[in-house]
Amino acid sequence: MIVGDDLVENVLSGGYPEALGRARWSRKQDWYHGYLDAIVQRDVRDVAQIEQLAIMPKLMSVLAEHSGQLVNYTGIGA
């Protein structure tokens, strides 16, 4: 059973094997940032044809901060 600081580190590390394989936290973060950029650059642009692609990482970050909460569109929009 994982508890305490080890549990927090496992939860924050995410579940992607590519990120988990990196020993240092900064390397894990680099992988996740690269993954987010790949999603924004490839998938979102192709599917939605969004013109303001540069603000998508910020939107994704805001949405991630609100995950697990009731949807409050006014708060997200702010």
For the chain, the structural domain boundaries read: 4-77
Axis-axis angle for helices 56-65, 25-38 (nearest 10): 120
Residues 30, 26: Cα–Cα separation, whole Å: 6
Give 21-60 pLDDT, tens digit per residue. 888 889 988 998 898 888 877 777 677 666 777 777 888 8
In a 3-state reduction of DSSP, which class is residue 47? helix
What H or E segment, with its residue span, contains residue 63?
Answer: helix 56-65
Q: What is the pTM of this model?
A: 0.53
